[in-house]
Amino acid sequence: MNGGGSGTGAVGDRLAPVLRPVRAGNGFEEALERILRILRLGLVPEGERLPSERELAERLRISRVTLREVLKVLADQGLVESRRGRYGGTFVRARPEPARGGEDELRRRIREVDVEDTLRFREVLEVGAAGLCAAHGLSDERAARLRAALDATRDAPLA
């Protein structure tokens, strides 16, 4: 399991766009929102460990006491769980399966989608994809497919 390390691994890299220092004055609320965003975007998959308390507090520039309050709220909501011991830490819990509510449930979920979360997800995904392409190169055929897809996104309607 990755995620409890120093932040230099894959999880730390994925979290960098989201785990920025919070502004003074509302550290609890902003830290809660940042970690919720990580969970909503699936940047740390269910069952995986979040970075250590020390690392999260340092990256968010909040006290560990404040961070523990944030993690307690998330645990109370059933989103994370704390485990003690040598392989302990704070782990992302599996989300409960949604009830089969049909179209109404789908519409409700779509209304709740945060555009900022969607854009942040795209940023994380696209930066990672660009890094892989740069590291491994693309064949002429794949480069042409990528250019065609990019052109299609430029012409796509916004609504």
Whether residue 29 is found in the same domain as residue 61: yes
Q: What is the pLDDT of residues 40-50, one digit of tens each?
A: 888 899 999 99
Whether residue 116 is found in the same domain as residue 58: no
Rounded Cα–Cα distance for residues 156 and 153 (Å): 5
Domain boundary among 92, 119, 139: 92
Domain count for the chain: 2
One pLDDT digit (tens) per residue for the chain, 159 residues: 444 444 445 555 778 777 777 776 778 888 898 999 889 888 899 999 999 999 999 999 999 999 999 999 999 988 999 999 888 899 999 876 655 566 666 667 667 777 777 777 777 788 777 777 777 887 888 888 878 887 777 776 665
Whether residue 61 is found in the same domain as residue 88: yes
Query: Distances in Å between the alpha carbon of 114 and those of 40, 78, 93, 120, 159?
Result: 10, 21, 21, 10, 15
Domain presence at residue 151? yes
Whether residue 20 is found in the same domain as residue 57: yes
Rounded Cα–Cα distance for residues 87 and 69 (Å): 22
Domain extent at residue 18: 10-92
CATH of the domain at 23: 1.10.10.10
Domain presence at residue 97? no
> pTM higher than 0.85, yes or no?
no
